Amino acid sequence: MLEQVTAVRYVDPLRAGGSVPGVVETDDLGTYVVKFTGAAQGRKALVAEVIVGELARRLGLRVPELRLVDFDPAVAADEPDTEIQDMLKASGGLNLGMDLLPGARDYRPGLAPVDSAEAGRVVWLDALTGNVDRTVHNPNLVVWHGRLWLIDNGAALIFHHRWATAEAAVGKRYDLSAHALGGCAPDVRLADEELGPLATVGLLEEVLALVPDEWLADEPGFDSVDAVRHAYVTHLAARAVLSSQWLPEGFATPEQLREAERRRAARTRAGRPAWLQEVPDLHGKPSVETVWEHRFE
């Protein structure tokens, strides 16, 4: 199991993400960004965080240390937002904490050196785990002490949201053309040669053993927690073997990305009432860099 700590102080919510994680201090004197089981994404987002994060760590990528956080909603009694309070009250028990990296900055090209080999390893992991939420618009990468770190892997493992079709998705190719590291010339074939043989049943079983039983319990179609773990291992091990079917083949150029964004904005405007046609799309969200620097520096 991952090391378990107890929350002693709820510092603040981080509204940069849809799951509204919170900064929490714990009894090991640590400060963690905690994702809660009561959030809209539910427990499966936490399961994905553990599986993808700990698999990444074992494959040599940098991921903040993970902890199981025993959370009593009483420590957040002073949180004034009623919607957040409802989420916290639904999150008593084990939640997932990621070590806070103070001063970390959202990744952008040129902020840190990322060679084609490192970029290839990140893209390969995202392709293996079906993580389509690491794009130029939402990189879920930060730079800390001049090095690249992976964060926010909860949207990966798409297959576990519908186990009935999981087997058919084993060799599925995902569109990663807008990947955040596409401009770094990712060498995904080199990554496949290096990492593919490491993604063994034994390694995957080691990773799955870190997921708490209660997050895997009561999964429809399975008669035990062990059966659920076995299903994850079987799927990912089979997918690693079939990498020739899903390796990304190309990445969009900046010009192509700008054109895709122009078309997306045009479609958005076309669906608005006439009086809103000229109003810009303002769906941006504050960066991790902005939030952390404002609150912790």
How confident is the model at residue 259, as a pLDDT?
78
Please give the C-alpha separations between residue 106 and each of 54, 63, 138, in angstroms, as whole numbers. 21, 14, 9
- The whole model's pTM is what? 0.87
How confident is the model at residue 276, as a pLDDT?
54
Give percent of the chain above pLDDT 70: 90
Q: What does the pLDDT average to over 262-269?
A: 76
How confident is the model at residue 12, as a pLDDT?
93
How confident is the model at residue 255, as a pLDDT?
78
Q: At 113, list the tokens.
A: 């050196």
Least confident of 132-136, 217-221, 234-238, 292-296: 292-296
| Contact between residue 97 and residue 69 where contact means Cβ atoms under 8 Å apart | yes
Between 296 and 138, the more confident residue is 138
28-82: pLDDT as tens digits: 999 999 999 999 989 999 999 999 999 999 999 999 999 999 999 999 999 999 9
| Residue 1 predicted with pLDDT over 90 | no
Between 273 and 28, the more confident residue is 28
| Residue 288 predicted with pLDDT over 50 | no
Query: What whole-number distance in Å separates Cα of residue 11 and Cα of residue 165?
Result: 41
pLDDT band per the 50, 70, 90 thresholds, residue 277: low
Q: What does the pLDDT average to over 185-208?
A: 98
Could you tell me the strand order of the sheet in which 105-106 lies? 105-106, 141-144, 147-150
Write out the DSSP string of 251-281. Answer: ---HHHHHHHHHHHHHHHHHTS-GGGTTSPP
| Residue 284 predicted with pLDDT over 70 | no
Q: What does the pLDDT average to over 156-177?
A: 96
How confident is the model at residue 162, as a pLDDT?
95
Least confident of 15-24, 67-76, 122-131, 167-176: 15-24
Q: Is 105 helix (H, G, I), strand (E, B) or coil?
A: strand
Query: What whole-number distance in Å separates Cα of residue 29 and Cα of residue 114?
Result: 32
How confident is the model at residue 30, as a pLDDT?
97
Q: What does the pLDDT average to over 110-133?
A: 96
Q: What does the pLDDT average to over 170-181?
A: 96
How confident is the model at residue 17, as a pLDDT?
65
Nearest to 155 by CA among 181, 174, 183: 174
How confident is the model at residue 294, as a pLDDT?
36
Q: What does the pLDDT average to over 112-120?
A: 96
| Residue 92 predicted with pLDDT over 90 | yes
